[in-house]
């Protein structure tokens, strides 16, 4: 079984916050792939389903961001899930809005949700880093992440979440490149091909295109005139 964790804070007050983009990601996967209804377990909300051949548990910790590791650790112990089979979706200040990066293991870079998970299960789990941009000064970070996405963000946010849902099956089977490609196709769809300009037809071309009414004998005779 794979465990996909979306980080955020519980309750309607925080639902649209930039800090809750992890929640939004797993909700998009659940909705697009027909997962079971959410239910309370492991100090969070869970939903189960399949992504291709993989059984996947989605988890939204409800311990508040700074204690996310309690919920993640409890779910991992219950299902005996190894850190390598855990993927955490979280907001990333150091990426431009709409950018996405994958990471396996490593530090928490000061993210309080990841810091908590590190303390409970170690650092070997995977992450999907979801760019929300930076407010420009560290003193503004708390207010920035705990405020809702702006209306101007809604178009790219919707495309990003749709792309995550499109690529979720590839992510579950470990194909990170295909997952990222699915997201990229939503964020930057292929441009339609421009119609080719009509070819210029000369009178000689037009004449050649007309059917020759002469029979074979007449055509042969004309060659010797």
* pTM of the full structure: 0.84
19 labelled catalytic: yes
The residue among 212, 182, 195, 211 whose CA lies nearest residue 51 is 182
Give residue-wise pLDDT tens across range 161-206. 999 999 999 999 999 999 999 999 999 877 676 776 766 666 665 5
What pLDDT is attached to residue 189? 75
Where in the chain are the domains? Answer: 2-187
pLDDT of the residue at 213? 65
- The structural architecture, per CATH, of the domain 2-187 is 3-Layer(aba) Sandwich (3.40)
Q: pLDDT tens digits for 81-113?
A: 999 999 999 999 999 999 999 999 999 988 999
d(CA 75, CA 81): 8
Can you tell me the distance from the alpha carbon of 79 to that of 214, in angstroms, rounded to the nearest whole number?
A: 85
Task: State pLDDT tens for residues 14-31.
Answer: 999 999 999 999 999 999
Who contacts 117 (Cβ-Cβ below 8 Å, separation ≥6)? 5, 68, 69, 72, 73, 88, 108, 125
Dihedral pair phi/psi, residue 132, rounded to 5°: -125, 0
Q: Which of 19, 33, 90, 111 is catalytic?
A: 19
């Amino acid at each position: 079984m794979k465990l996909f964790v979306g980080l955020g804070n519980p309750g309607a007050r925080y639902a649209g916050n930039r800090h809750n983009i992890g929640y939004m990601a797993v909700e998009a996967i659940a909705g697009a792939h027909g997962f079971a209804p959410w239910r309370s377990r492991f100090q969070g909300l869970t939903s189960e389903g399949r992504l291709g051949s993989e059984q996947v548990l989605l988890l939204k910790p409800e311990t508040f961001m700074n204690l996310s590791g309690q919920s993640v650790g409890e779910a991992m112990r219950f299902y005996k899930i190894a850190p390598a089979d855990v993927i955490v979706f979280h907001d990333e200040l150091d990426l431009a809005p709409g950018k996405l990066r994958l990471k396996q293991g490593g530090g928490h870079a000061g993210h309080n949700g990841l810091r908590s998970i590190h303390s409970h299960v170690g650092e070997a789990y995977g992450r999907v880093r979801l760019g929300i941009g930076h407010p420009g000064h560290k003193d503004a970070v708390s207010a920035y992440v705990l405020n809702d996405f702006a209306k101007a963000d809604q178009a790219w946010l919707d495309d990003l979440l749709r792309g995550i849902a499109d690529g979720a099956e590839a992510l579950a089977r470990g194909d990170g490149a295909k997952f990222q490609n699915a997201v990229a196709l939503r964020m930057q769809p292929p441009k339609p091909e421009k119609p080719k300009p009509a070819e210029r037809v000369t009178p000689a071309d037009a004449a050649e295109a007309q059917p020759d009414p002469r029979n074979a004998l007449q055509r042969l005779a004309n060659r010797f005139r």
